[in-house]
Amino acid sequence: MTGGPGRLVPPPLRDNCFALPPGVSWTPVDDALRRLREGLSVVAPVEDVPLSQGLGRILASDCVALRSNPPAPNSAVDGYGFAHEAVADDGPQTLPLMAGRSAAGAPFAGAVPQGHAIRILTGAQLPEGVDTVVLEEDTTTDGGRIAFRGPLRRGANTRKAGEDVAAGAVALAAGRRLSAPDLALLAALGLSTLRVRRRLRVGVLSTGDEVVPAGQAARPDQIFDANRPMLLSLMARWDHEPVDLGHCADDRVGLGRTLDEASEQADAILTSGGASAGDEDHVSAILKDAGVLHSWRIAVKPGRPLALGLWKGVPVFGLPGNPVAAFVCSLIFARPALSTLAGAGWCTPQAFDVPAAFEKRKKPGRREYLRARLSADGRAEVFASEGSGRISGLSWAEGLVELADGARHVRPGDLVRYLPYGGFGV
């Protein structure tokens, strides 16, 4: 519409200018997650690694205990061991003390006759004839005898063979991502080599003519690449092998070449930028041209454009360019998807309800994730601005508040769902 020669009149604002665009089909978050979960399976091959390199690796098969923990009955304390049968049920007791002792790694060679006691130290194997230990502090001794007061139950202060884990038991199941305590367990059970998945190689590519890598000169119309260091670090945190694919301009030929090369080097590819449906959104366009674009509008805020597709058989997660949206989409969608590809199966983030320290009115239609952190009294505070360009808010936050798809008016004190960064492994 024109308002006379040479004068352009902008169209009036629509009543629904803040509502979802009409005629657009949005994929609810749960549908998108379900689709990912159903469509993906493990792609990482299997390899053997020494236990010392097992941290963060994913078990490719069940780990069976090669020996029991403990392997033999031993003493839980420093004290004196004897046969329970030979002492009175209750009251003062005196037992002659045998020469010698049983220490950890230096067991007593002989048998202890009934009615005799022997010096025994923590972790020492129980000598033959010993089933019970009295704590050193509960005894007196003259060097030749010990005296103590009952009652003492049979087996007191001892550990039974296999009471923790018995040989032959499955200690950890396939799919487990190994933690430091897991490595302690497996070492105790006699394992020294672990059958694990090769780390998932995840390529990270930034796109956009305006994007410049850190360290280079940037004009005022250019921005530094914030997504690549963020996404590469997330991959490292998630125990994948980050593959830096660099940066690609908004050019479909170059992008296609880069994806071709990336599909040789990586098991999965994360791109950021150009995932929407605009003129310069080349990631979604190239996936669409190749006939492999699967889903690109998710009812989530921040981060609605998410382009998913297979490039030469390698899954591509086309994340939005906005760092806040790229981050949230990585945590919500890419994390469980990559976990599945890596062999650890689907994962859901830790979440719990806490009182809100804020007020917010939310429209229906999209699931929202707010940058949040807990106050000293355990209430969820949210970052002052919801602008998806506010990278400082990501850094300020220590978690996300998740608001369900429907409308909601959150008032201070209302319970809201809090997802700590820690629960995302961040």
In the bound complex, what is the minimum distance in angstroms from residue 230's beta carbon to ligand AMP? 8
d(C-alpha 228, C-alpha 248), whole Å: 12
The string over 135-160, giving b where at least 16 C-beta atoms fall within 10 Å of a residue's C-beta and e elsewhere, is bbeebeeeeeebebeeebeeebbbbe
Task: Examine residue 320 and tell whether it contacts ligand AMP (CB under 6 A).
Answer: yes
Asked if residues 89 and 105 have their Cβ atoms less than 8 Å apart, the reply is no
Which of 70, 203, 273, 399 is close enough to bind Mg ion by CB under 5 A? 273
Beta-sheet pairing, 415-420 with 399-403? antiparallel
Task: Examine residue 74 and tell whether it contacts ligand AMP (CB under 6 A).
Answer: no
Task: Examine residue 302 and tell whether it contacts ligand AMP (CB under 6 A).
Answer: no
Which of 74, 75, 158, 227 is close enough to bind ligand AMP by CB under 6 A? 227
Residue 15 Cα distances to 12, 21, 74, 409, angstroms: 9, 12, 78, 21
By C-beta, is 239 or 250 nearer to ligand AMP?
A: 250
Task: Examine residue 273 and tell whether it contacts ligand AMP (CB under 6 A).
Answer: yes
Task: Please choose, out of 79-87, 101-109, 269-277, 414-422, the segment that lies near Mg ion by the rule CB under 5 A.
Answer: 269-277
Q: Which residues is 317 bridged to in the sheet?
A: 270, 308
Task: Examine residue 274 and tell whether it contacts Mg ion (CB under 5 A).
Answer: yes
Q: Which two tokens stand for residue 416?
A: 């809201």
Q: Provide the 8-state DSSP code for 326.
A: H
Which of 127, 203, 242, 274 is close enough to bind ligand AMP by CB under 6 A? 274
Give the chain's count of helices (H) and strands (E).
8, 28
Q: Provide the 8-state DSSP code for 376.
A: T
In the bound complex, what is the minimum distance in angstroms from residue 195's beta carbon to ligand AMP? 38
State the binding string over 136-175 for ligand AMP (x if CB under 6 A, else -). Answer: ----------------------------------------
Q: Provide the 8-state DSSP code for 330.
A: I
Peptide bond into 151 cis (omega under 30): yes
By C-beta, is 227 or 258 nearer to ligand AMP?
A: 227
State the binding string over 154-193 for Mg ion (x if CB under 5 A, else -). Answer: ----------------------------------------
Q: Provide the 10 A C-beta neighbour count for residue 264.
A: 9
In the bound complex, what is the minimum distance in angstroms from residue 208's beta carbon to Mg ion? 4
Q: Which residues is 165 bridged to in the sheet?
A: 69
Task: Examine residue 210 and tell whether it contacts ligand AMP (CB under 6 A).
Answer: yes
d(C-alpha 243, C-alpha 205), whole Å: 9
Beta-sheet pairing, 367-374 with 380-382? antiparallel
Considering CB under 6 A, how many residues would be counted as binding ligand AMP?
A: 18
Task: Examine residue 321 and tell whether it contacts ligand AMP (CB under 6 A).
Answer: yes
Which of ligand AMP, Mg ion, none lies near 320, with the C-beta cut-off 5 to 8 A by kind?
Answer: ligand AMP
Task: Examine residue 323 and tell whether it contacts ligand AMP (CB under 6 A).
Answer: yes
CA diameter of the chain? 118
By C-beta, is 162 or 302 nearer to ligand AMP?
A: 302
Report which residue type is found at 57: R
Which of 125, 206, 258, 263 is close enough to bind ligand AMP by CB under 6 A? 206
By C-beta, is 273 or 315 nearer to Mg ion?
A: 273
Which of 208, 315, 318, 323 is close enough to bind Mg ion by CB under 5 A? 208
426 Cβ contact list (under 8 Å, min separation 6): 234, 237, 331
Site for ligand AMP, rule CB under 6 A: 206, 208, 210-211, 223, 225-228, 272-276, 320-323
Site for Mg ion, rule CB under 5 A: 208, 273-274, 321
